[in-house]
Amino acid sequence: MTKTSVSLLAAAFAVVAVPAFAADLSQPAVAAAPAAASSLAGVSLSIEGAPEFSQNWTSPKYGDLVDSYYIGGITYKLDPNWTVGATFKDQENAVIGVGGAATHEEFATGTLGYTLPLNETVSLTATGGIGLAWGTTNYNNNAVLANGQQSFFYYQGALEADIKITPQLTWNALNVQYKNAFNVDYLNPSAFTGLTYAIDKHNAVQTKLNYSWYDNGAGASNLVGNKESISLGYKYSF
């Protein structure tokens, strides 16, 4: 093959190949198919626990260990604002019950919540719920009785203000909760403040300072200190 033939063949190849290559570059890249959404998207699981100490300043046991508890919870985000959830709480009382065994009280609660973002930093969340208490509730025949085993339904409502300090750190500035029962004298308001740290989009840890009051028999006009605790918690979001 002569040099002239080679030159003509190269020129022909260039005429055909270069425009085709340029056309390929001008075509948009084919986007990768989006990952399938998880069937558990919107679901969060949580666990929290703490020992609780008496804050009844009228009792000689003020400051003593009262009980310890853990709470397991599940929450489902219906949309960016509404959530539904359920929690189970097991409380082991420090007071030794009948037969020398520690007594337990259980609480199961269903909740509905709504979050209102005020701006990019501050949000308010209102939550309401209905629950059932059973085990050693210290109630019998609708009256307070040590080691009473009467189960009862209760209702609760809470309002929480959250302030985002950084993309990962949120100050749960204040949560106030009202809790009472339908057929027993169970007025039990509480409040907490705490911090939540998001490790990543799935994992978060939380610590809270909790304080509660109870009705000593005179109604809301004469609430006394009940319990105080510092709890630790973990949350996993799918």
Residue 169 neighbours by CB distance under 10 Å: 12
The model's pTM:
0.80
**pLDDT (tens digit per residue) in 22-69:** 444 444 545 555 555 568 889 999 999 999 999 988 888 899 999 999
Selection from 142, 53, 155, 150 nearest residue 105 by Cα: 150
Task: Please calculate the CA angle 204-208-210 and round it to the nearest 5 degrees.
Answer: 150
Amino acid 116: pLDDT: 98
The yes-or-no verdict on residue 181 having pLDDT over 90 is: yes
Strand partners, 175: 160, 192
Selection from 134, 131, 151, 133 nearest residue 142 by Cα: 151
Sorted by where each begins, the domain ranges of the chain are 43-237
Count of all residues that appear for the chain in the document? 238
The yes-or-no verdict on residue 91 having pLDDT over 80 is: yes
Average pLDDT, the chain: 85
Amino acid 103: pLDDT: 92
Supply the CATH classification number for the domain 43-237: 2.40.128.130
**pLDDT (tens digit per residue) in 130-174:** 999 999 999 999 888 888 999 999 999 999 999 999 999 999 999
Strand partners, 231: 208
The yes-or-no verdict on residue 13 having pLDDT over 80 is: no
